[in-house]
Amino acid sequence: MRPVGPRASTRLLALVGHPVRRSRSPEMHNAALRARGIDAVYLALEVAPARADRVVEALRTLGVAGANLTVPFKEAAVGQVDSLHRSAQRAGSVNTLVMKAGRVRGYNTDGVGLLDHLRHLGRPQPRRAVVLGAGGTGRAVGAALLDQGAHVTLLNRTPERARGVVAAWGQGDAGPLTASAFAHAAATADLVVRCTGGAGDATRALDPGGFGGSTWVDVNYWDDDPPHRAALGDRFVGGLGMLAFQGARALSLWIDDPVPGAELLDTLEAAP
């Protein structure tokens, strides 16, 4: 009996980043592909950051059908694709690549994925938001919120970088990721989104006591001890939902068929 598994005709989808070993994207995408009987496989590829300027060309050469990009490749890919969807233009970063007929188009599904998940939870549409971190994810989240009519304050450890992002957006406020700047912005916000990470994350020094809004989202779904989760109670939302809903948007682009974000979230939540 011929073994069942990938064949020479199997399409390859991939996640490229550093690190990616903790990613849960392969399990949710491969489950969705199996459920649809699609002959494709999704793999996580660990790539050295020094290769950032060659990632898109390498994927094109290998004939990859589609890919997700994560840290530290999202911003570097902007200048490497053949065309950019408005979502990637606004974000200044790419998290999804679609390869068709030898051409590569860059999208960003991070921000809309977060908003999809908030709607799924029945959370109110944000009017004023504070985004912590001006990296690729923070840029995408902020851009999507602005497109929904929210006012966005972007705080970053290097405030000059935040100001540059806001200038590119053409709207919003920027400042340093400090306790005083956060307290001022969070006092009138109904949403905070943490898009920072690392052992020295300044988010841990912030006081959530002045935040009176309904929702605090932490995109770092792999963080076992995210800052302020206990203090925020049911206002705290982990990043697993954003992962699922942005992934559903990406998979929909690759297979040309809508994929419910709730389906991918169910897969992740059912796993041990």
Task: Tell me the per-residue pLDDT of 148-174, one tens digit each, with 9 for 90 and over.
Answer: 999 999 999 999 999 999 999 999 999
Fold for 111-238, please state it: Rossmann fold (3.40.50)
User: What pLDDT, on a 0 to 100 scale, did the predictor assign at position 6?
Assistant: 77
Q: pLDDT band at 9, cuts 50/70/90?
A: confident
pLDDT tops 70 at residue 248: yes
* Within this chain, domains 11-108+242-270 and 111-238 share the same CATH topology: yes
User: What pLDDT, on a 0 to 100 scale, did the predictor assign at position 199?
Assistant: 57
Q: Between the CA atoms of 123, 135, 57 and 43, what dihedral angle is there, to the nearest 10 degrees?
A: -50
Query: What is the CATH class of 11-108+242-270?
Result: alpha beta
Catalytic entry in 74, 85, 105, 235: 74
- Alpha-carbon gap, residue 265 to 111, rounded angstroms: 17
What's CA 207's distance to the chain center, in Å? 25
| pLDDT tens-digit series, residues 225-242 | 999 999 999 999 999 999
Cis check: omega of the bond before 3, within 30 degrees of 0:
no
| pLDDT tens-digit series, residues 55-80 | 999 999 999 999 999 999 999 999 99
74 is catalytic: yes
Q: pLDDT band at 2, cuts 50/70/90?
A: very low
How many other CB atoms sit within 10 Å of the CB of residue 127?
A: 15
Kind and range of the H or E element at 180? Answer: helix 179-186
pLDDT tops 50 at residue 3: no
| Structural domain boundaries in the chain | 11-108+242-270, 111-238
pTM over 0.85: yes
User: What pLDDT, on a 0 to 100 scale, did the predictor assign at position 68?
Assistant: 98
Q: State the average pLDDT over residues 32-38.
A: 97
More confident residue, 70 or 2: 70
Whose structure tokens read 């963080």?
223
Q: pLDDT band at 197, cuts 50/70/90?
A: confident
